[in-house]
Structure 1
Amino acid sequence: MTGGYYSIEQVFHVKAGDFASAGEASSQIKKILKQLGIDSTLVRRVSIAAYEAEMNLVIHSVGGELKLKVTPQSIVVTAEDKGPGIPDIDLAMQEGYSTAPEIARELGFGAGMGLPNIKRCADRLNIQSKVGEGTLLEIYFDIKAR
């Protein structure tokens, strides 16, 4: 890490169904983390999780926000949307389970690996969802002292 103590918060607005811009927010997150001198292995894990969360916003919601918060101890990526919600979180966490629409599948997305990949990359994961209201996904990464 460079420069010792820092704290950064950044918010990215993600539009539903905007596959042309999909991935831009997670690319910006990756760039910010690299500029902060975060360990490359951790940058990769955060980038993968952020991309999966961003794609879930594009595919499944009516749009939402992807937020990055970096402190000296941790990185938190939050995805929050107003949307259909997740009826069965345990089922949604199973590899291969997908509710993606045909348009997403035709573009090569919606394989049912988003939430499992996020969980695999994260140190901790919190999902709150209410059907008909939306979903809050909080993805936590610990920054180890070097």
Structure 2
Amino acid sequence: MTDKLLIRYSYNIAANDFIAAGKGSSSIKNTLKSMGIDASTIRRIAIISYEAEINLVIHSYGGMLHCDLYENKIDIITEDKGPGIENIDLALTEGYSTATESVRELGFGAGMGLPNMKKYSDDFDIASSREGTFIKITVLLQEV
């Protein structure tokens, strides 16, 4: 049986736009709160979507952040326009970062983005090439 998508929220994320960074993930968090999603799930989604959004800002040429709501799960999906992740296994290592020194001076690039996204997910899929990176993270909803 295929899950039926109830609603999709999408945010265009610009590369290097540190002024707007976090607005998409904040909107997702507020929307989930208004829907009555439990606090534990909202916290996980907030961490995942923020890390995903910041990675788009820091490491891509721009892309999309999607939040797909189903009856039993929430998917956070990112699609970017490159340059891709050279070594996914290494990128999933806590503390590993390819962020520039200027990004680190802004307080970003600690190498916890992908590891945190995976840690707080129930399912984590990633594919990357020079054309771009696709990440799909699933969080199962608590039964009430």
TM-score (norm 2): 0.95
Structure 2 counterpart of 1:22: 21
Unaligned regions of 5+ residues in structure 1, if any? 1-5
Question: In structure 2, what is the Cα distance between the partners aligned to 1:11 and 1:21?
Answer: 15
Structure 2 counterpart of 1:80: 79
Tell me how far 1:70 sits from its aligned partner. 0.5
Match of 2:139 among 112, 118, 141: 141
The 5 A counterparts of 1:89-128 are 89-128=88-127
Structure 1 counterpart of 2:128: 129
Unaligned regions of 5+ residues in structure 2, if any? none
Question: In structure 2, what is the Cα distance between the partners aligned to 1:62 and 1:42?
Answer: 30
Partner SS state of residue 145, structure 1 = coil
Partner SS state of residue 30, structure 1 = helix
Partner SS state of residue 112, structure 1 = coil
Partner SS state of residue 18, structure 2 = coil
Identity over the aligned pairs, expressed in percent? 51
Question: In structure 2, what is the Cα distance between the partners aligned to 1:103 and 1:17?
Answer: 11
Structure 1 counterpart of 2:34: 35
Question: In structure 2, what is the Cα distance between the partners aligned to 1:121 and 1:19?
Answer: 24
Runs of 4+ in 1 over 6 A off after TM superposition: none
Tell me how far 1:144 sits from its aligned partner. 2.4
Partner SS state of residue 104, structure 1 = helix
Number of corresponding residues = 141
Partner SS state of residue 118, structure 1 = helix
Structure 1 counterpart of 2:55: 56
Contact 2:41 2:142 in 1 (8 A): no
TM-score (norm 1): 0.94
Tell me how far 1:103 sits from its aligned partner. 1.9
Amino acid at match of 2:97: S
Per-residue Cα deviation, 1:70-113 (whole angstroms, up to 9, x for no partner): 01111000011011101110000000100011221110100100
Structure 2 counterpart of 1:3: none
- CA-based RMSD of the aligned residues comes to 1.3
